[in-house]
Amino acid sequence: MAYILQVDFPMNGPFGNEMAEAFSDLAKSINEEEGMTWKIWTENPETNEAGGIYLFETKQSAEKYLDMHTKRLAGFGIETVNAKIFTVNSALTEINKGPLK
């Protein structure tokens, strides 16, 4: 079974290429997180929001990462974090070519 972690929060930038440059080391470190399969980075400069969609192997690893990530964001001065964990329906996701591996 796989689990999706959906996270978003207010952020005033950077966005786009500046965001990629600023957070490339962070992105590399996320690859080392226990149970994390992949992350899709999200951003909306028009509404000053950023976040991500993550795939985790277990619910426990998603919860552990969310706890750590919320604390890290608080260290950046971001106090409002919206997050949800969902179970992935693998059969339907495969039909729609969702990356589960």
CATH number for the domain harbouring residue 39 = 3.30.70.100
The 3-state DSSP class for residue 3 equals strand
Return the pLDDT at 1: 86
| 75 CB neighbour count, 10 Å cutoff | 8
Residue corresponding to tokens 């591996």: 101
Q: Kindly calculate the radius of gyration of the chain based on its CA atoms and give it in whole angstroms.
A: 14
Q: Which residues of the chain have pLDDT under 70?
A: none
Residue 65 is assigned to a structural domain of this protein: yes
Residue 100 is assigned to a structural domain of this protein: no
Domain containing residue 69: 3-95
Residue 62 is assigned to a structural domain of this protein: yes
Number of domains comprising the chain: 1
Residue 101 is assigned to a structural domain of this protein: no
Q: Are 51 and 9 in contact (CB under 8 A)?
A: yes
Residue 84 is assigned to a structural domain of this protein: yes
Sheet holding 3-10, edge to edge: 36-44, 49-56, 3-10, 82-87
